[in-house]
Amino acid sequence: MGSEGKNFKKEIVFYADLLDRKGLVNTLEGNISILDREKDELYITPSGIRKCFLNEDMIAVMKGDKQTGGSAKRSSEYLLHVAALKARPDCNAVVHVHAPYLTAYAYCGKSIKLKCSTTFSLVFEEIPCLPYGEAGTIHIADGIEDAIKDHDLILLGNHGCVAVGKTMEDAVKIVEAAEEVLKIYHLTKSIGEVKNIPDEKLESLYENHPSSRRNRYKK
């Protein structure tokens, strides 16, 4: 394995541990991956190992449907990662987690569209929720191509969420941001009525802010 592959493994170990410490993954749920598009090799966390216990040797390397490296068995949900990366050729990293607040919406089968948060409005505008798809099969990714083509974070009905990014840092930070906004939103509801940003102000934000989702995806 060349130094580049080792760097991918090191990166996955670092971010898997970070997600574990933040409570966004657990022993049985959550997996992350990086695709080396030049070699068509997918580096992905293994199945059933606590993320903070991972080391570089355990990271699975996939070539198509065949595992070609790693001392531990690849995640059973690698097909989800493959589908997400196929739908987003501009991205190289996938984070699939069961973050509590995001997953609560997935359990309800509800897309998320908040109007009270500038951060949410700029970064996401909306987080769509796919219908339930059977875990461990290609059907977990049913509908992902349309949903993820202009959303970096989506929900999987009755399951969890998937984020994509050019880098692993890009994918992880949007999961962290979304989860934190939702946490604050539900704390706010326990205090009183949530005050939304007026629709005309939001529309101006969507259309005019250079970092808005609409402008990031504008062709």
Q: Kindly tell me the burial class for residue 211, based on how many C-beta atoms sit within 10 Å of its own C-beta (0-12, 13-18, 19 or more).
A: exposed
Tell me which residues are annotated as active site. 77
**In this predicted structure, what is the pLDDT of residue 137?**
84
Burial 185-203 (b: 16+ CB within 10 A, else e): beeeeeeeeeeebeeeebe
- pLDDT of 219 reads 52
Contact predicate 145/162, CB 8 Å:
no
Contact of 29 with 98, CB cutoff 8 Å:
yes
Q: How does DSSP classify residue 46?
A: B
Give the pLDDT score at 187.
97
Residue 86 has a pLDDT of 97
Compute the half-sphere exposure of residue 6: CA atoms within 13 Å on the CB side of its CA: 3
Q: What is the rounded CA–CA span in Å between residue 95 and residue 32?
A: 5
Domains of the chain by start residue, with CATH: 3-216 (3.40.225.10)
pLDDT of residue 1: 41
Residue 106: the pLDDT is: 98
First to last CA, the chain: 38
Please report the pLDDT score of residue 2 as a whole number.
Answer: 44
Q: Which residues of 16-42 are buried (b: 16+ CB within 10 A; e: fewer)?
A: bbbbbeeebbeeebbbbbbbeeeeebb
Global pTM exceeds 0.85: yes
Per-residue pLDDT of the chain (219 residues; tens, 9 = 90+): 444 556 999 999 999 999 999 999 988 899 999 999 999 999 999 999 999 999 999 999 999 999 999 999 999 999 999 999 999 999 999 999 999 999 999 999 999 999 999 999 999 999 999 999 988 888 888 999 999 999 999 999 999 999 999 999 999 999 999 999 999 999 999 999 999 999 999 999 999 999 999 898 875
